[in-house]
A and B are shown apart, each in its own frame.
Chain A
Amino acid sequence: MNEADWVAQLGFALVGVGLVFSATRVVTSDNLVRSVLWLAVTLCATAVLFLMLSAPFMASIQLMLYTGGVITLMLFGVMLTNREAGVVVANERNSPKRAAALAISVFAVFAAAIIGSRDALPTRPLDATAVTTAVLGQSFLTDHLLAFEVLSVLLLAAMIGAVVLARRRDFGEPSGRRVKKKTAADPGAEA
């Protein structure tokens, strides 16, 4: 038991350190693309944490949605908003001191709260029974059905909203086909 515990502890420590390290690289990297990639690492580490917290479904969702979808989106975003030629995007930071101060003080507050309420926390072992997909699915479709449906409406709205927002502005024409109305003196007024 002790050994298993000890291994588990070590594993946790490693994952934790890795998580913190990669998160720090996300916010301190000069290269935006590198930042995005470090985020991918962070998200993967989080997935490992979920596994250790008896949440396999969460871990797989994390990998699929975040590491797969969100990172891809971010990369696209970086590429599409790149002003200069070349991949390297200027990414300086400003006034790090006050931000650091604030972040550290917030952490201190949270830490104080957490450690202060240590005795009130439940003490179950955390990786006892994995929560299965079936359980979660049942929960969604019975106890939290309304929220589930609303969530799907939200996703639909977000999807439509994103499409509408990012659409080109020539009304009546789909963005793919540009009718050759624009004169030579006015080559693409919209960016």
Chain B
Amino acid sequence: MTIPKPESIRSILATDCGSTTTKAILIERRGEEYRLIVRGEAPTTVEAPFEDVTRGVLNAIMEVEELAGRKILDGEKIMTPQSGTQGVDLYISTSSAGGGLQMMVSGVVKSMTGESAQRAALGAGAIVMDVIASNDGRLPYQKIKRIRQLRPDMILLSGGVDGGTTSHVAEMAELLAAADPKARLGAGYELPVIYAGNKDARKIVEERLAHKTALKTTDNLRPVLERENLTPARDMIHDLFMEHVMAHAPGYRKLMTWSPVPIMPTPGAVGLIIETIAREESISVIGVDIGGATTDVFSVFQGVFNRTVSANLGMSYSVSNVLAEAGLPNILRWVPFEISEHDLRNRIKNKMIRPTTIPQTLEELIIEQAISREALRLAFEQHKMLAVGLKGVQQERTISDTFEQTASGETLVRLDHLDLLVGSGGVLSHAPRRAQAALMLLDAFLPEHVTELAVDSIFMMPQLGVLSTVHPKAAKEVFEKDCLIRLGSTVAPVGPGKEGVTALRATLEFPDGRRETLSIPYGYLKLVPVPEGQSVKAVLNPDRGLDLGAGKGREREVVLKGGVVGVIFDCRGRQPFTLPADRERRISKLAEWNEALDAYPVAVKV
């Protein structure tokens, strides 16, 4: 099957097989531009009783057919190319079903090649189950036992700079060979192992692993200490994901024959889109995709892309793990009404065992959104820990400095430098009111100074990510016009303050020349409607202990972009942000903030 020429493509059908839901979108060329026409979805069918991913894909496409009033399927086959008003010119897909791509990575020094290998795997869209390194503190037999237990889909072995010592790499290869690891899916195929370490050790690695695993070799991902070269390893992960892993997941062999474009792991596709926004607008971006099983965080700061996945933080399969990791009090702190621990615990577990259900009552919706704040917060904490720079790259230094600086890598993620925060995933994209999504993002990420907020309208970043590899124009047009919903800007002064005392004075100048002066007390939220596509000029004067990016108490002039929610002045405090300890005060404060943003249909009763 060949990929049609971009200019000849009139219609595109794209699916994303998530762990819970399979989403299908139909894109058509209307005049000179590409637009989203409809979206359909159906439960993913990787699991029993179907055990065939294509069932869910067909169901989602059937829904697209019904909604668009257009025939796409001929029996159980997608009609390509488009003929008249039937069929489509291109079909593409991403997938994270069946637990996604689960990898184990290995390096020599945990914080150096180990970390680089981890970043390469994460960037390719994998879940990293463990990082095994010479200096990870485990005894050899413990490492071997661990490798055996894990049963990953793939292993990435790295270590050493080119031309360096080979003995540690050999040691890691020997451990792997001794463990004789087996692949997760299907006993009948050899586990793919990618070697991306010291090129001088290739032969040694081959001798030890080639007869026991499906070994592939690629360029060293850390050729010199000061530079990472992750792309070859990432590309190889994608290739092997298709060749080995996907081919053994139920129904994927069939699905792969439907598309001329390789199936991409969902997070890898979302990462592509986030990188593109950051590059084209020259801004710092954080993107988050909260799914049923996992939460992915992507960031681009100083031009460096990072992705992490929190494998067990999600809103359905992993919802109970959010409770286990965050603790009940942290979830309850976001719930603006009384609920017993006993009741909440049972509700969360019932969602875990029936992951595809949705909130029917307002109370249930608010609880789910409370849980999501904690899942997002925890995933972001994990991201900050891994998104660290290659230390001291641009500094003149001796080799001893290199080691010193490696031990103390600072996070690249700076909330005070963040320009755009994009949310994606069911709980954010499908929040009945966009203000709910804005508030979830604010509460979980606590952006500082001035930041723009956006959500993926109907959760189609994965499909657009894979589309961007074959038709960048169509991907960009749909992304800007139909996918990204700009919620508005937020202004959040940093520093401690006293409840009720004026924290910020702002003078706003609207496009029609109207001027408005605001005074917002500490501990309050204030929403100023500014529609999407419009901006206001603002002169911001924080109180003397507070900083908006120009220094404590210093005036700052900015342009604030509007959005479907508007401009949110968040004077609830940063560093620290605290919720009242007293239960009644906390509940009344939450209700007040919800009301300030008109987040829910009726005021939630205390």
Chain A bound to chain B: no
